[in-house]
Amino acid sequence: MLKPVMVVHGGAGNWHPERVNPGLEGVKKAAKLGFDILLHGGSALDAVVEAVASMEDDGSFNAGYGSSLTIEKGIEMEASVMDGKTLKAGAVGLLKDIKNPVKLARIVMEETDHIFVVGEGAEKLAKMFNFERRNPITELRLKYYEQQKQTLIDGKFGLPKLANLIKTHPELFDLETVGAVALDKDGNVAAATSTGGFPLKLPGRIGDSPLIGCGTYADNRSGACSATGVGEIAIRLVLAKTVCNYMEHGKSAQEAVENAIKLVNERTAGTYNSMGLIAVNSRGEIGAAHNSAHLCWAYITPELQEPVASMTAKILK
């Protein structure tokens, strides 16, 4: 029997000072919820889904309620989950009003023959399984949207590309995707990730969060990983799977996430530093690293009474 371990993140980026406390409270709550499930004999899969669902409901994160808006002021949420015992995975994208995208990702995994279902099809599936709906747009996201859009418009004269805009105004692009990884007492690992996607993204854009291997990966042979940051970078480097490969080849969970962030720095030098990673290996050792200013995250193990939460982990620039 192994000791259960729960690690969650609430996103990398530059967190506004007024959002730090709600963020830390939100990740602590999610870590505790997932850990209680593990302590009561629940699986790593149950724990990561419930922990992510709690952050989707929180309103402090860019996932579920509180998701970022697309350039057209729309909502396109996405999520994924992976079970390290079976290598089964489920993912959803282009969701407008599903209350808990991560739970729909689990439905795709367990109730269909597929892995990734988006848009109308995902909506139909949600209807079949009586999923709760909720308007995910919050006042705060609308305010951020207006600020971001205005900066983009002003940028006509000096900031023609969104990438430049992000580099020049990182404070407007808090990422705040959520994710969780866990190890249960039976030695099974799981990972889940959920997001509203990058602020001002083009409609139809899919990021790393629902892509198995990019934003989420879990395999009992190595461990589990959830990523946050500019999705296009995680996709190019197949980042979550890369972290698991490092663990499979003998790196500790901490070495694995650090090596992956170093890889990001080496291969994408000059791009906006935004990446954050959390991981757990199949022995229950944890890892967290980022090249962004902040990574909102929390973890809990049986030795701890309460989750430990922080706005930073190992920073590698």
Per CB under 6 A, residues contacting ligand ASP are 11, 62, 175-177, 195, 197-198, 207-209, 228-231
Closest contact distance (angstroms) between CB of 144 and ligand ASP is 13
Using the minimum distance from each CB to ligand ASP, give the nearer residue, 184 or 241: 241
For ligand ASP, the nearest residue by Cβ is: 231
Catalytic residue, candidates 70, 177, 216, 228: 177
Closest contact distance (angstroms) between CB of 149 and ligand ASP is 18
Using the minimum distance from each CB to ligand ASP, give the nearer residue, 106 or 290: 290
Using the minimum distance from each CB to ligand ASP, give the nearer residue, 244 or 278: 278
Residue carrying structure tokens 């991981």: 279
Closest contact distance (angstroms) between CB of 303 and ligand ASP is 29
Using the minimum distance from each CB to ligand ASP, give the nearer residue, 177 or 273: 177
Q: DSSP letters along the chain, please?
A: -PPPEEEEEEEEE---HHHHHHHHHHHHHHHHHHHHHHHTT--HHHHHHHHHHHHHHHSSSSSSTTPPP-TTS---EEEEEEETTT--EEEEEEESSBS-HHHHHHHHHHHSS-SEEEHHHHHHHHHHTT--B-----HHHHHHHHHHHHHHHHTTTT--SHHHHHHH-GGG-----EEEEEE-TTS-EEEEEEE--STTPPTT---STTSBTTTEEEETTTEEEEEES-HHHHHHTTHHHHHHHHHHTT--HHHHHHHHHHHHHHHTTTS----EEEEEETTS-EEEEESSSEEEEEEE-TT-SS-EEES--EE--
Closest contact distance (angstroms) between CB of 215 and ligand ASP is 6
Closest contact distance (angstroms) between CB of 293 and ligand ASP is 14
Is residue 70 flagged as an active site residue?
no
Using the minimum distance from each CB to ligand ASP, give the nearer residue, 62 or 188: 62
Catalytic residues: 177
